[in-house]
Amino acid sequence: MTQPALPIGPFVDPDPALRPERVTLTGRFVTLVPLEADHADALFDAACGPGRDDLWTYMFDGPFSDRAVFAANIAQKAASTDPLFFAIVDNGSRRVVGHAALMRIDVVHRVIEVGNIMFGAPLQRTPGATESMALLARYVFETLGYRRYEWKCNAMNEPSRVAAHRLGFTFEGVFRQHMIVKGRNRDTAWFSILDTEWPACGSAFEGWLAAGNFDADGRQRRSLAALRPSTT
């Protein structure tokens, strides 16, 4: 084959990725299961009610004060295939404590996004929150064969931006005036992990989640960032 005169990217395996399916992903702290309509009550208890409206500030919907309206919303999400929603179940209590979705699924170019991440109050700042993201990333790269895993958030959502960096995503820039959400402008910050970066990220997740990385009080001995090779 003749080499093009102009610069061009390297050859890539053209085979498509697999579509994510309604599978169960089991971890030590949490298990991800396909979201079902009957998860609504537990999710309402975890994420709705007095003092919890801030959980929904940067979400596309909510907050919710009516259990029936919330149940209809969860039923709609459960029926969706893109986004494909997973409920996050705490392995100790067996309660549904959050949800997340794989979305903007592009099997041809092997690009997929994690989004619609809602961590209820019982899940926030727990090892299970990190493990839920590790389980989805491992599924995307090691089972489905994607090249690019995306994380997007409102550019003003500093906790989400910090979380993306902590989990190993690389910041790529801001799409200005990208969306109108709840009647307000949203500039969107874009992050990604590539398949070539996943082995180091996956190893860091494994090391961080290991029983030996937590002391008797449940405090981490080494941070997730410390377990990931520096790129600087």
DSSP annotation string for the chain = -PPPSS--PPP---PPPPPP-S--EE-SSEEEEE--GGGHHHHHHHH-STT-GGGGTTSSS-----HHHHHHHHHHHHH-SSSEEEEEEETTT--EEEEEEEEEEETTTTEEEEEEEEE-TTTTTSHHHHHHHHHHHHIIIIIS--SEEEEEEETT-HHHHHHHHHHTPEEEEEEEEEEEETTEEEEEEEEEEETTTHHHHHHHHHHHHSGGGB-TTS-BSS-TGGGSPP--
Q: Are 87 and 75 in contact (CB under 8 A)?
A: no
Q: How many CB atoms lie within 10 A of CB 146?
A: 28
Q: What digits encode the pLDDT tens for the residues 23-79?
A: 999 999 999 999 999 999 999 999 999 999 999 999 999 999 999 999 999 999 999
Percentage of the residues of the chain whose pLDDT score is greater than 70: 97
CA distance 136 to 64: 26
Examine the pLDDT at 150 and tell me if it is beyond 60. Answer: yes
CA distance 109 to 107: 6
- What pLDDT, on a 0 to 100 scale, did the predictor assign at position 231? 52
AA identity, residue 147 = R
Q: Are 143 and 136 in contact (CB under 8 A)?
A: no
Examine the pLDDT at 183 and tell me if it is beyond 80. Answer: yes
- What pLDDT, on a 0 to 100 scale, did the predictor assign at position 4? 74
Question: 124-133, 203-212, 213-222: lowest mean pLDDT where?
Answer: 213-222
Strand partners, 16: none
CA distance 55 to 71: 17
pLDDT confidence of 229, banded at 50, 70, 90?
confident
CA distance 190 to 110: 17
Mean pLDDT for 147-153 is 98
Dihedral sign from CA coordinates of 59, 77, 64, 117: negative
pLDDT, mean over the chain: 95
Buried b (16+ CB within 10 A) or exposed e, 100-121: bbbbebbbeebbbbbbbbbbbb
Domain locations in the chain?
25-227
Structure tokens at 23: 């599978």
pLDDT confidence of 232, banded at 50, 70, 90?
very low
pLDDT confidence of 217, banded at 50, 70, 90?
confident
Top-tier CATH class for 25-227: alpha beta
CA distance 114 to 105: 10
Strand partners, 81: none
Q: What digits encode the pLDDT tens for the residues 117-141?
A: 999 999 999 999 999 999 999 999 9
- What pTM does this model have? 0.95
